[in-house]
């Protein structure tokens, strides 16, 4: 069952009828009460254009603040048009979903998951451009899946039950995290600071950018690295090169086996698998000092 949550918006520079200025700015502020979700809930946040900052804390409510900006190359923006761009929040299947809703957004629910996409006509000279800069405070014991696409960095701080972080044209920064981390971007860097050395498999991918992982001194993992134009570096001392992996995968009516092109390495006493993949960029695994 889907439940729509009430939003509280502070609106700036909006007049009756047509707006006197081509730019629209609205302040966003609302809370999701603890009674709306459980400790097993996943928080999914989907931004499109703009920055996204997620901070874990020891409170109970999910607190959302931010700014919506609209502008047009020619003509004015009516009140009705401005209202078609907003930050939506719903509770579905026990999880919390916060996402940017626009006339070009597409939301589908499939296998208890949300599929979020955007179909934008870049040749429309009368289109409305938009940007949402969003900050979300979340109880730090929840799992968070957060993403943005254009125009800003994705920041996630102080989460203690795992993180899935995704960007496209921008960097991903995850600090003081505990648990599994999957961090992906296309054109940007990835920087991850583990509060405790990871005990679960993690994945880091970028096409054009540097990947940096910082972990306490007791770090141990099996590390794989793939890059066309990059190298893997570490300042941990205990390194062991392992044999190439033989991977079994389904193929047509049977299976086929594939040998990894790069041999994994073991850092310390081993542990979870950390996978690094890029096209143009190196990866660094560093010991954090504090």
Q: Is residue 59 part of a domain?
A: yes
pLDDT value, residue 13: 42
pLDDT value, residue 245: 64
Whether the per-residue pLDDT at 65 is higher than 70: the answer is: yes
Contact 209, 279 (CB under 8 A): no
Q: Is residue 224 part of a domain?
A: no
Q: Is residue 231 part of a domain?
A: no
Query: What confidence tens digit (pLDDT) does each residue in 210-230 have?
Result: 999 999 999 999 999 999 999
Task: pLDDT band for 5, please (50, 70, 90 cuts).
Answer: very low
Q: Is residue 263 part of a domain?
A: no
Number of independent structural domains in the chain: 1
Give the closest residue to 39 by CA, choosing from 112, 144, 142: 142
pLDDT value, residue 12: 41
- What is the pTM assigned to this prediction? 0.86
Whether the per-residue pLDDT at 3 is higher than 90: the answer is: no
pLDDT value, residue 261: 57
pLDDT value, residue 145: 97
pLDDT value, residue 242: 84
Residues 39-50 have a mean pLDDT of 95
Q: Is residue 256 part of a domain?
A: no
Task: pLDDT band for 127, please (50, 70, 90 cuts).
Answer: confident
Q: Is residue 68 part of a domain?
A: yes
Residues 62-76 have a mean pLDDT of 92
Query: What confidence tens digit (pLDDT) does each residue in 133-190 have?
Result: 999 999 999 999 999 999 889 999 999 999 999 999 999 999 999 999 999 999 999 9
- Degrees (nearest 5) of the Cα angle 78, 81, 87? 130
Q: Is residue 268 part of a domain?
A: no
Q: Is residue 266 part of a domain?
A: no
Contact 172, 244 (CB under 8 A): no
Annotate 69-85 with b (16+ C-beta within 10 A) or e (fewer): bbebeeeebeeebbeeb
Q: Which residue range(s) make up the domain with 59?
A: 2-216+274-287
Whether the per-residue pLDDT at 239 is higher than 60: the answer is: yes
Give the closest residue to 5 by CA, choosing from 63, 67, 84: 63
What's the CA gap between 143 and 145, in Å, rounded? 7
């Amino acid at each position: 069952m889907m439940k729509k949550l009430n939003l509280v918006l502070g609106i700036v520079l909006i007049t009756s009828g047509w707006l006197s200025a081509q730019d629209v700015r609205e302040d966003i502020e609302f809370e999701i009460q603890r009674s709306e979700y459980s400790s097993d809930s996943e928080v999914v946040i989907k931004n499109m254009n703009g920055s996204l900052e997620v901070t874990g804390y020891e409170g109970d409510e999910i607190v959302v603040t931010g700014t919506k900006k609209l502008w047009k190359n020619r003509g004015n923006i009516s009140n009705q048009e401005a209202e078609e761009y907003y930050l939506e929040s719903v509770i579905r299947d026990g999880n919390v979903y916060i996402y940017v809703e626009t006339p070009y957004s597409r939301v589908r629910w499939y296998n208890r998951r949300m599929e979020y996409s955007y179909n934008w006509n870049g040749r429309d000279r009368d289109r409305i451009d938009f940007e949402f800069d969003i900050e979300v405070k979340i109880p730090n014991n929840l799992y968070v899946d957060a993403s943005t696409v254009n125009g800003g960095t994705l920041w996630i701080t102080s989460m203690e039950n795992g993180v899935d972080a995704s960007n496209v044209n921008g960097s991903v920064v995850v600090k003081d995290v505990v648990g599994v981390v999957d961090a992906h971007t296309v054109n940007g860097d990835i920087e991850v600071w583990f509060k405790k050395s990871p005990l679960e498999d993690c994945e880091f991918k970028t096409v054009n950018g540097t990947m940096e992982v910082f972990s306490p001194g007791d770090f141990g993992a099996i590390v794989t690295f793939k890059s066309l134009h990059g190298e893997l570096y570490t300042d941990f001392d205990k390194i062991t090169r392992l044999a190439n992996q033989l991977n079994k995968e389904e193929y047509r009516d049977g299976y086929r086996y594939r040998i990894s092109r790069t041999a994994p390495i073991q850092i310390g006493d081993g542990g979870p698998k950390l996978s690094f993949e890029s096209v143009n960029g190196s990866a660094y695994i560093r010991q954090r000092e504090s």
